Amino acid sequence: MGATSVSSKVERVDPAGPGPATEGSEDTAAAPAPGRLSALRTPKRPRLWFELLLIALSYGVYSVIRNAAPTRVEQAQDHARWIWDVQDAMGLAFERSVNHAIESVTWLIVSMNYYYATLHFVVTIAVLVWLFRSHPGRYGATRLVLFATTGVALLGYYFYPLAPPRLMEGMDFIDTASVHHTWGSLSAEGSAMASVSNQYAAMPSMHIGWSLWCGVTIFVLARPLWVKVLGLLYPAVTLLVIVATANHFWLDAVGGLICLAFGYAVARLWYGASCYRLPRRVGAPGQEEPRVQPS
């Protein structure tokens, strides 16, 4: 009886035998797929070489697509006139007044010209470097916000050509970079900048989209109060600059804000939490990562 009882027990737990034990084994074998997806959605420490390559490739693709949009001058002029009329109906068509007023102050408008041509890239890269070094656990998600924002903006450039105020016909806007011969003029005929840039990719404004991304990131994550204040001032000053230099309507800025909201939504859906609520630091590649708590 004792031998029979032992044999019976062995048969009941034999994983090769029929019954619930076998079914459980098959269920376990099918489980790794959700695990891989979960791993992709878990914050990881960024790798420098990969990030440099990704940023370079992404900006290259962005530039190619942005500049490959068909040059539809008549349609771009019609869209610009429509936006101007909408703003005028709202009593908010103030771009030309700002443009003329600030253009008369040479040192100020020249400074704004250089601001427009350079800080768009310098500040954005600086914030990415800061995130990489000081907030590696939040870097990937916050970078995803920037990439998704820029990606959806390409739809606007391709399907909604828009002449910037400085190129509007019969509106007497001043192309401040061209008048003051500062580097970065996009409309000076024969210039290197004009030959490589799509003149009619004004909606949405990525100067606003990127500067708002920088400003929000700095305000939320920086600790010194004065740095937070600078974060808030950066997109506000950028709005003044894009209007004063006649590169954008203020409605272009609204378009940039909408694109940024889309970018934050994409990152929130992918990571299951706000990019700023993810762990500040994570383990080295290959180590177990902390579990993200949805917010």
Cα(21)–Cα(202) distance, rounded to whole angstroms?
Answer: 63
pLDDT in tens, 55-85: 888 877 777 777 766 668 899 999 999 999 9
Question: Residue 27 contacts by C-beta under 8 Å, 6 or more apart in sequence?
Answer: none
pLDDT in tens, 186-211: 554 444 455 456 788 899 999 999 99
More confident call, 37 vs 133? 133
Tell me the mean pLDDT in the region 169-188: 81
CA angle at residue 68 from 63 to 69, to 5 degrees? 110
Tell me the mean pLDDT in the region 162-169: 94
pLDDT at 286 over 60: no
Residue among 156, 276, 155 at smallest CA distance from 213? 276
pLDDT at 185 over 80: no
pLDDT in tens, 238-251: 999 999 999 999 99
Domain definitions of the chain by residue range: 85-281
Cα(98)–Cα(78) distance, rounded to whole angstroms?
Answer: 22
How large a percentage of the chain has pLDDT more than 70?
75
Helix (H, G, I), strand (E, B) or coil at 162: strand
What's phi and psi for 162, nearest 5 deg? -140, 125
